Homo-oligomer: A and B are copies of this chain.
């Protein structure tokens, strides 16, 4: 691992320092039109089936980035292929884990409900989706992580339309608004919402067909906004 010899002011080599284990814990959030923001929980110990639900996490492996560890844990524990995990905060209380000295880097991932719900329904003993307001009393610092994750996602969605690109290629403003309502946790006025986001999107020139009511214009995300 380490090839270059290095000594600090006290004459200790880099490898001589005790090193912490590093874990990642992830709040996977899914916006649901009916129930608002949902958070994915996994059973802490699938062998004993204790009734202890927690955020999915894992230990960082050698040569791995934090984002890779997050994606690996979501794949293993919930069969999910996540998008780009975002760092939230490092929890560093030396006594936060009685198994030893463990730092945890909290992350947030936002996924379409359609990608998460089937997994939870397939493996109800191991995976659960719960509205964020009801996800309390979790172990470690997981309540705090959920709170930070919700705040981060809500702030991002209040700034601009669907920054995590959960919508399909083309979409109506109605569907986009439903997504934003699920994230925000409350209704948004259709006309106000329209004026806020319209200039930040690109019209496809197409419109919906076959639905009741006047057809709706279809929009795409603007390429520049990322």
- A interface vs B, CB < 8 Å? 1-4, 6, 8-9, 14-15, 17-22, 59-67, 76, 87, 89-90, 92-94, 98-103, 105
Contact = CB atoms under 8 A, between A and B. Distances in A.
3 cross-chain pairs, A with B, having the tightest CB-CB distances, nearest first:
A2-B100, A19-B19, A18-B62
Nearest to A76: B9
A99 B14 contact: yes
Contact of A101 (B1, B4, B6, B76): B1
Contact of A21 (B17, B61, B94, B101): B17
B20 A98 contact: no
B87 A65 contact: no
Nearest to A15: B100
Nearest to A17: B59
Contacts of A6: 99-100
A8 B59 contact: yes
A2 to B, nearest CB: 3
A19 to B, nearest CB: 4
Contact of A90 (B59, B66, B76): B66
B105 A90 contact: yes
Nearest to A89: B87
A218 B11 CA distance: 52
B94 A65 contact: yes
Contacts of A103: 22
A178 to B, nearest CB: 30
Contacts of A93: 65
A67 B103 CA distance: 13
A32 to B, nearest CB: 30
Given A1-B101, A99-B6, A14 B59 contact: yes
